[in-house]
A and B are shown apart, each in its own frame.
Chain A
Amino acid sequence: MVQSSLLEDFTKAAIKAVATVEVIDRSPDALGEAILRAVGDAQRILYAPPHELPADLFANFASDPRVRADATPDEMIHTAAGVTEAFAAVASTGSICVDVGQERTGMVSLLAPLQVAVVAAENIVPQPRDLFRAEVLDGKGLSRDFCFVTGPSATADMGPLVRGVHGPHKLHIIVLR
């Protein structure tokens, strides 16, 4: 089955890019558990509600008292984890695509040290170039403001390779079966 091989390739490539990946069932229970496990004991969690995936899927997670969908600027820059959806993922590179034109999705995926992204398995495309084809994912890649995110932020400018620079230090990807 094409789908499962894309998922396998994606997982391998994402891990190579130093992200962590987990594949779960598509249910509010499973997703809520997975996200809360990933954020651990973070005291506050930034959350950009989804525009593609059904909001109900996130209902269990969003009911956690630590979750802030309307964080103040001060909270935005002082929170350990940020949770968003990703509208696409790329198998060859292990990237996820985050819609940065959509409300706070961009900021939430960028400002906290731990980034958690949720993507549906059917939105994994083979290669980065596929996002620039009108027939792929309804041409979303041609109309949106978005970012290919591949692993956590990194630099080699200070000598050795360091992960965690201006952007997140860790990236956890939850794939919905």
Chain B
Amino acid sequence: MATLVNPADISPRSVANKSDKKALLNAIRMTLGVQSPAVRLNTQTFNRNRYAATSILPDYDALKDRARQIKENAISNLPELLRELQASVVANGGHFYLAKTAADANAHIRDVLLRHEVKLVVKGKSITSEETRLNHDLEAAGLTVAETDLAEFILQVADEQPSHIIAPALHYSRERITALFKRKFTTDLPLDTGEELTVFAREKLRQQFIAADAGISGANLIAADSGSLMLVESEGNIRMTTTLPPLHIAIAGIEKVVPSRTDFGTFIELLPRSGTGQPLTSYVSILHPPIKAPSFAAPGKTPKPREFHMVLIDNGRSRMREDPVLREALYCIRCSACLNSCANFETVGGHAFGGETYSGGIGGSWEAGTGTLMNARFSELCTACSRCVPNCPVRIDIPWLNENLRQRMNFEQPRSAAKAAFGDMTGSAPEDRVAPLQKQFFGNYSTFGKWGTRFFGLSNASMNLPGARAFMEKVFGVDRRRTLPAFPKKTWEQLYREEPRSLPAKFRPSLVMLADVFTNYGAPERGMAAIRVLRTVGLDVVLSPAMPDGRAAMSQGMMETARTQANAIAPMLRQYLREGRKIVVLEPSSLAMLRSDFKHLLDDEETSRLLAQNSFEPLEMLWNVAQQQKLDLGRIFPASKSKHGTKLFYHSHCQQRTCNSATQTIDVLRAAGFDVVTSSVECCGMAGSFGYKHDYYDLSMAVGEDLFAQVRRADQDGGPRVLVASGISCHEQLFAGMGREVVHPAELLAGTAS
């Protein structure tokens, strides 16, 4: 095993708060150096298991709709539900307390414990209590707190924050746990296997369970109608915490409340499958405490009557509820699917892609909502690849939340004349001209594309001037090891005008190709290949004028620029629909704008709905037509005539997969006779502009390494395969990692037709 190196001996706690950018960069170095192998292994296992476990749920989509609806209604009726819940808890014989702040919650719990003369309290896993730093406050009051979840036990021993919402110590490999325990405990045991470590911790904690005077648990869900809790676990420690000691305190955020215990039926199907990927975890407790069974009395003690306290915390949640963006986060059921399906998270985990408590795609909104906005800085690591979106059981558009956080963080930046002038010149909306130069550079790609192709000789030559790369790195943060795509001599629009007009259409529908700015200024030949392929099967294709669709701006949090651009391009696209054309979009990130993001950006709802329904990826369109017309793709695009070769390695684009527009490419290529091996990574790591940024270059390449390794494995059987990818930035990343040509599926097909 390679030696793991923590470059500057950085401790997780010291970089937990990332309001200072340096902390974020140090955290990335630390996690890449030490934690990455364990994080990768564990998150990718969860990820695979989740896909398997949800795919066998026959009504997965309907369950998600139902879960979403329950949560929307619950948050909307929250004040009434809290009143109803209080009445239910009291009617059950329990106590109810609504805490405004973390400090308020901690003080209340401390007082309850001291009143009962508790010395030792056992705790089940509660991330909400991590948010309030409950242990710290209880220990300050002289109490002994025993974390009994083995992951929380590790964190308590190591004094670290959670790195994952359901497996908070998943950044620890077995070897590192052994080393930690040997450092912290005196023991003759070898502790060299998972079993030995488990036995060691269990024996220690079993004594605590027997002696404890009180147990503190969290709650996955709470039902207002009955005061019921749902508690999901695998170790049995939550069962012990909630049923052995006479005093049970449950702490949870107010957003955990749903109307009825009947609602648990929806979430019990979704939560474990979306989390660990198990149909159910070992134990799911459904309690409306105080429970009737007698409490456990340690040998020699008399059993005490049971008492139950429910402590719900607000701590910013009411403010989140009033905020149209952060309100979405209140629907989160904390399953971790968005963490495990995120390529960046899989590579660094929550100590880099996370704050003091919450991590991953959804974590930024939680840190901003329960703390301050700049605590969400780590949400910069969300590349909006969108792979979390179809995996979220409550259908939260997590990238949209992070793009809005980015806008808010941009607005916190100091104004400067240089930024304002640069933004004015390059096309930022007035509001967005406070954004850092780097963001305005990447966000206004279309402007640079226009200039770059107009002065093509000059612009490309200038990048080869001595000092040009250093300049780009210093001013715009573009990593000097990256090569920005060279601008072509002619744009897609220009090439299109030179191409002979297409023959009369044989088949409906007739199409318009959106001249997305990425293809227009970055890969016009690829665009032409797509047009030729569609024309080859008798489709009538015209090219739209090139206009930015808002993707580049949105990815930088320049939301006003994105809104302006989206509302400018939409009427043009709508006009094509009126003419009876369907829209084809080559660049998947632009396709995703039409399919999904425009619903947030367009003023006109009907237009966004129509554009979403009538836009297609080119090979998706080809496959649909081939199915309808029973076309023999093997005859039209015979793989045997491919000038590139017939053995392919295909990597689909992350957003293309989220749009369900990826498998059709594979179908087409196989029907044409190609031998296709596909990647199984969530994202290539380039993700538009992300991988070009100097700050994130190492992370981007580390993410890419999974993809490169898959290529190398595929190559072992019969020599190098032709690299095929559908996204522009995937091309750049694959080229950087493998050092050989990457082609678009359309180019491949165009290269077979006679």
Contact A93 B294 (CB under 8 A): no
A146 interfacial by beta-carbon distance below 8 Å: yes
The answer to whether B198 and A129 have CB atoms under 8 Å apart is no
Chain A positions 142 through 177: 1 when the CB is less than 8 Å from some CB of chain B, otherwise 0: 101111111111111111111011111000000000
Binds B, one of A31-39, A52-60, A102-110: A102-110
B469 at the interface (CB under 8 A from A): no
Does the CB pair A165–B298 fall under 8 Å? no
Bound-state CA distance A161–B173 (Å) is: 12
Known: A100-B239, A158-B174, A158-B197. A73 touches B279 (CB 8 A): no
- Chain A nearest Cβ from B274, distance in angstroms: 14
The minimal Cβ–Cβ distance linking B182 to chain A, given in whole angstroms, is 14
Q: Check A154 against B282 for contact (C-beta < 8 Å).
A: yes
Q: Are A154 and B234 in contact (CB under 8 A)?
A: yes
Find out whether the CB atom of B299 lies under 8 angstroms from the CB atom of A100. no
Residue of B nearest to A13 (CB): B279
Q: Is the CB of A166 within 8 A of B235?
A: yes
Q: A28 to B141: give the CA distance in the assembly, Å.
A: 55
**Distance (Å) between the CB of B369 and the closest chain A CB?**
28
Residues of B within 8 A of A100 (CB): 239, 243, 285, 287, 291, 293
* B243 close to A73 (CB less than 8 A): no
Instruction: Evaluate contact between A92 and B150: CB separation under 8 angstroms.
Output: no
Known contacts A147-B286, A157-B169, A165-B236; decide if A95 and B280 are in contact (CB<8 Å): yes
Task: Judge whether B299 and A73 touch: CB under 8 Å.
Answer: yes
In the complex, A160→B196 CA distance in Å? Answer: 11
CB of B124 to closest CB in A, whole Å: 10
CA distance A45 to B282 in the complex (A): 23
Chain A neighbourhood of B205, CB < 8 A? 166
B197, A133: Cβ atoms under 8 Å? no
Indicate whether B361 reaches chain A with its CB closer than 8 angstroms: no
In the complex, what residues of A have CB within 8 A of residue B312's CB?
Answer: none
Q: Is B489 an interface residue (CB 8 A)?
A: no
Instruction: Count chain B residues whose beta carbon lies closer than 8 angstroms to a beta carbon of A.
Output: 63
What is the interface of chain A mostly: helix, strand, loop, or mixed? loop
CB distance B282 to A149 under 8 Å? yes
B292: which A residues are within 8 A, CB to CB?
101-102, 145
Once the chains bind, are B285 and A150 in contact (CB under 8 Å)?
no
Q: Which residues of B contact A167 (CB under 8 A)?
A: 235-236, 239-240, 282-283
User: A27 contacts the other chain (Cβ, under 8 Å)?
Assistant: no
Query: Which residue in B148, B154, B194, B283 is a CB contact (below 8 Å) of A162?
Result: B194
Q: Which of A13, A17, A95, A157 contacts B151 (CB 8 A)?
A: A157
Roughly how many angstroms separate A167 CA and B209 CA in the complex, as a whole number?
A: 12
Q: How far is the CA of A92 from the CA of B57 in the complex (A)?
A: 10
Residue pair B198, A165 in contact (C-beta under 8 Å): yes
- A127 at the B interface (CB under 8 A): yes
Query: In the complex, what residue of chain A is closest to B201 when comparing beta carbons?
Result: A158
Contact of B167 among A77, A103, A131, A157 (CB under 8 A): A157
Report the minimum CB–CB distance from B306 to chain A (whole Å). 11
Docked pose: A103 CA to B193 CA in angstroms: 37
Please give, as numbers and ranges, the residues of chain B lying within 8 Å of A141 by CB-CB distance.
Answer: 286
Q: Which of chain A's residues have a CB closer than 8 A to the CB of B263?
A: 132
Knowing A145-B287, A147-B283 are in contact, say whether A166-B299 is a contact too (CB < 8 A). Answer: no
- Is A74's beta carbon under 8 Å from chain B? yes
Beta-carbon contact of B174 and A110 below 8 Å? no
Instruction: Evaluate contact between A166 and B282: CB separation under 8 angstroms.
Output: no
B472 at interface (Cβ–Cβ under 8 A)? no
Report the minimal beta-carbon distance from A47 to chain B, rounded to whole angstroms. 15
Interface centre among A127, A141, A148 (most CB of B within 10 A): A148
B479 to chain A, nearest CB (A): 35
| With A129-B268, A164-B198: A107-B296 Cβ-Cβ less than 8 Å | yes
Candidates B206, B281, B289; contact of A145 at CB < 8 Å: B289
Are A148 and B243 in touch, CB under 8 angstroms? no
Smallest beta-carbon distance A93→chain B, Å? 4
With A and B bound together, what is the CA distance between A141 and B170 in angstroms?
33
Residues of A contacting B173 in the complex (Cβ-Cβ under 8 angstroms): 159
B676 close to chain A: CB less than 8 A: no
Q: When A145-B291, A147-B283, A147-B286 are in contact, do A159 and B243 touch as well, CB less than 8 Å? A: no
Q: Closest B-chain residue to A166, C-beta based?
A: B236
Closest-CB distance, B166 to chain A (whole angstroms): 11
- B717 beta carbon closer than 8 Å to chain A: no
C-beta contact mask, B260-271 vs A, less than 8 Å → 1, else 0? 011111101100
Contacts of A92 in B (CB 8 A): 279
Contact A148 B283, CB 8 Å, known A162-B194, A166-B237: yes
Given contacts A128-B280, A132-B264, A145-B291, contact A157 B149 (CB under 8 A): yes
Q: Which residues of B contact A162 (CB under 8 A)?
A: 194-195, 198
Chain A contacts for B169, CB-based, 8 A: 157
Q: Are B177 and A159 in contact (CB under 8 A)?
A: yes
B297 in the interface (beta carbon within 8 A): yes
Q: Whole-angstrom distance from the CB of A155 to the nearest CB of chain B?
A: 5
Q: Does B534 contact A (CB under 8 A)?
A: no
Measured CA separation A145–B177 after assembly (Å): 36
Docked Cα-Cα span, A87 to B400, in Å, equals: 45
17 A-B residue contacts at CB 8 Å? Answer: A13-B279, A100-B243, A110-B239, A128-B269, A128-B280, A130-B265, A132-B263, A142-B262, A145-B291, A145-B292, A146-B286, A150-B284, A157-B151, A157-B169, A165-B235, A167-B283, A168-B236
Binding site for A on B (CB under 8 A): 42, 148-151, 154, 167, 169-170, 172-175, 177, 193-195, 197-198, 201-202, 205-206, 209-210, 226, 234-237, 239-240, 243-244, 261-266, 268-269, 278-289, 291-294, 296-299, 301
Top 8 A-B residue pairs of the complex, sorted by shortest distance between their CB atoms:
A167-B236, A159-B174, A132-B265, A129-B265, A166-B236, A157-B150, A165-B235, A153-B236
Given contacts A92-B279, A157-B170, 19 further A-B contacts (CB under 8 A): A13-B279, A17-B280, A101-B291, A101-B293, A106-B243, A106-B291, A110-B240, A132-B263, A132-B268, A142-B261, A150-B278, A150-B282, A155-B150, A155-B198, A158-B177, A158-B197, A158-B198, A164-B198, A167-B283
